[in-house]
């Protein structure tokens, strides 16, 4: 068996990482503009906010070059393109007056995609929170769920005559944990555990309100989901004991861990916070934050769950029958970002998630940063990325064969881009970008992916 004929083959990006034009045509600043323009040396962390003091002012200049980028997508044979809307580009203050120039840009992009036969898939929030809203407390402000719903209504009313696929939030775990608890990304806060739960609760309420708005105001039948990055685990062997242990590890919270997937997904799909999370955090879990009706709001039915997967942890069944992390693999295969290559997560994590939540799955991000460049022959040869994608897709096919409803796969990323606090030092793209000239070059992996799409996945079985 191979991938279904209607499988959604795509690639993904995020607004702040590629658009540039950060102060053009009425766009308001986001927390990432604030964060990456603070170039002071942080003596506590012993570094500047962004490596090499880089920023997203120009990035890939997609704002001006979207037609060229869509033409390259068409050349690659993409069936779908997942992109995010810059909240402050269409609402410079995060609420209130609409910026028609920002609306016009996304209208042009959507129309260009449709003319190329590519399905536009919109992510409504991918970390670039409006600075004006951060100035009034950010996600800690109890009004934020309603403010987010207002923004979502603007987007849906303006774009849903042509857009069917909507994702409310991208990787909320990263946004809250790295940006608000660890202080390693925008908005660079270090909140207490109790405060963190209030942020999470408000963010999940915003998600629930967004789902309701999409369903109420969409002009075309909407397909609604979100795109978290569940912590990934896979079994050391295919025996049932190890598989069961890995599945248990995927959702358990035995220690104070804000990355616990069940913390983020149980409220959405089960309408409750996991008991082990509540018990582990004790008094730092503020039960009083949950008002009547909150959990019903958060658990609005979804059409799919997007999952961003890159690397994972190998699990075996311990002698006590409990999950146990296997020892570190000496000389493990690593990407340029030093993430371990663990393709088996795409075989098992979709199964673990589906068994727990019974919702169809889209792999909304998967890819690798590699050390590649334009060779003397003018091409970009990236065999390791091809090998990475091939290994992961072979495992994803096994999950489909096992009966897991997987609707699509989006490679991360379409373009080399601004990799947040790492600036422009990591290249995840299928398309190489020369940031000085903005010249685009299709990498060998882009051409390989084209063959995969054209064959509806059969090409992943060809090893060269």
* pLDDT tens per residue, range 361-415: 999 999 999 999 999 999 999 999 999 999 999 999 999 999 999 999 999 999 9
Three-state DSSP class for residue 23: coil
Are the CB atoms for 273 and 267 separated by under 8 Å? yes
349 inside domain = yes
Q: What is the mean pLDDT of residues 110-137?
A: 99
Does any domain span residue 195? yes
pLDDT tens digits, one per residue of 136-178 = 999 999 999 999 999 999 999 999 999 999 999 999 999 999 9
In a domain, 416, yes or no: yes
pLDDT digits (tens, 9 = 90+) for 232-249: 999 999 999 999 999 999
Decide if 82 is inside a domain: yes
Query: Would residue 270 count as lying in a domain?
Result: yes
Q: Per the residue annotation, which of 112, 365, 419, 426 is the catalytic one?
A: 365
For all residues of the chain together, what is the average pLDDT?
98
Instruction: State the average pLDDT over residues 75-101.
Output: 98
pLDDT given for residue 409 in this prediction:
99
How many domains does the structure of the chain reveal?
A: 1
Question: Tokens at residue 294, please?
Answer: 């909150």
pLDDT confidence band for 2 (50 / 70 / 90):
confident
**Domain range for residue 416?**
8-461
> Residue 45 pLDDT more than 90?
no
- Classify residue 244 by burial, with Cβ atoms within 10 Å: 0-12, 13-18, 19+: middle
Q: Is the pTM of this model over 0.95?
A: yes
Confidence of residue 328 (pLDDT cuts 50, 70, 90): confident
Tell me: pLDDT of 289 over 70: yes
Is it the case that residue 329 has pLDDT exceeding 90? no
Q: Is 365 annotated as catalytic?
A: yes
Q: Name the band, by pLDDT with cuts 50, 70 and 90, for residue 116.
A: very high
Average pLDDT over residues 340-348: 98
Q: 285 — alpha (psi -120 to 50), left (phi > 0) or beta? A: beta
Please check the confidence at residue 464 and state whether its pLDDT lies above 80.
no
13 within a domain of the structure (yes/no)? yes
Is the pLDDT at 287 greater than 70? The verdict is yes
CB of 3 closer than 8 Å to CB of 19: no
Averaged pLDDT, 277-303: 98
In the chain, what are the helix, strand and coil shares in percent, each to the nearest 5?
A: 40, 15, 45
pLDDT at 1: 63
Report pLDDT digits (tens) over 375-386. Answer: 999 999 999 999
pLDDT at 446 > cutoff 70: yes
CATH of the domain at 226: 3.20.20.80
User: Does residue 1 fall inside a structural domain?
Assistant: no
Residue 435 has pLDDT above 90, yes or no: yes
pLDDT, tens digit, for every residue of 425-434?
Answer: 999 999 999 9
SS (H, E, C) 352-402: HHHHHHCCCEEEEEECCCCCCCCCCCCCECCHHHHHHHHHHHHHHHHHHHC
Residue with tokens 């060998």: 444
Q: How many CB atoms lie within 10 A of CB 259?
A: 13
pLDDT > 90? residue 59:
yes
pLDDT at res. 56? 98
The per-residue pLDDT for 80 is 99
The answer to whether the peptide bond before residue 455 is cis (omega within 30 degrees of 0) is no
SS3 state at 313: strand
Is 3 inside any structural domain?
no
């Amino acid at each position: 068996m191979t991938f279904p004929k209607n499988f959604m083959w795509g690639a993904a990006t995020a607004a702040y990482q590629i658009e540039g034009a950060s102060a053009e045509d009425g766009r308001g600043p986001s927390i990432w503009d604030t964060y990456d323009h603070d170039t002071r040396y942080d003596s506590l962390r012993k570094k500047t906010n962004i490596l090499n003091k880089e920023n997203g002012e120009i990035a890939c200049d997609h704002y001006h070059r979207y037609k060229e980028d869509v033409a390259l997508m068409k050349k690659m044979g993409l069936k779908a393109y997942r992109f995010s809307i810059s909240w402050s580009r269409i609402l410079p203050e995060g609420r209130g007056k609409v910026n028609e120039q920002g609306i016009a840009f996304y209208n042009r992009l959507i129309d260009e995609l449709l003319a190329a036969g590519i399905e536009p898939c919109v992510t409504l929030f991918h970390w670039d929170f409006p600075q004006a809203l951060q100035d009034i407390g950010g996600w800690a402000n109890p009004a934020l769920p309603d403010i987010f719903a207002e923004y979502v209504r603007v987007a849906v009313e303006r774009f849903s005559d042509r857009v069917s696929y909507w994702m409310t939030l991208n990787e909320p775990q990263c946004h809250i944990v790295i940006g608000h608890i660890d202080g390693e990304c925008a908005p660079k806060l270090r909140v207490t555990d109790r405060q963190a739960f209030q942020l999470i609760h408000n963010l999940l309420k915003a998600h629930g309100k967004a789902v309701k708005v999409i369903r109420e105001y969409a002009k075309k039948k909407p397909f609604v989901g979100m795109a978290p990055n569940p912590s990934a685990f896979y079994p050391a062997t295919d025996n049932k004991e190890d598989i069961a242990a890995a599945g248990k590890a995927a959702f358990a919270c035995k220690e104070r861990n804000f990355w616990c997937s069940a913390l983020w997904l149980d409220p959405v799909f089960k309408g409750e916070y996991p008991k082990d999370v509540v018990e582990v955090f004790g008094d730092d879990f503020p039960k009083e934050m949950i008002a009547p009706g909150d959990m019903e709001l958060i658990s609005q039915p979804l059409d799919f769950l997007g999952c961003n997967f890159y690397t994972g942890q190998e699990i075996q069944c311990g002698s006590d029958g409990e999950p146990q992390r296997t020892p570190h693999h000496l000389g493990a295969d690593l990407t340029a970002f030093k993430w371990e290559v663990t393709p088996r997560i795409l075989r098992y994590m979709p199964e673990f998630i589906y068994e727990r939540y019974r919702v169809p799955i889209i792999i909304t991000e998967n890819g690798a940063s590699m050390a590649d460049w334009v060779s003397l022959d003018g091409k970009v040869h990236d065999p390791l990325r091809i090998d990475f994608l091939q290994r992961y897709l072979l495992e994803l096919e096994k999950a489909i064969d096992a009966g897991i409803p997987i609707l699509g796969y989006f490679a991360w990323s379409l373009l080399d881009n601004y990799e947040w606090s790492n600036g422009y030092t990591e290249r995840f793209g299928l398309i190489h970008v020369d940031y000085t000239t903005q010249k685009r070059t299709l990498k060998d992996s882009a051409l390989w992916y084209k063959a995969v799409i054209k064959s509806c996945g059969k090409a992943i079985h060809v090893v060269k």
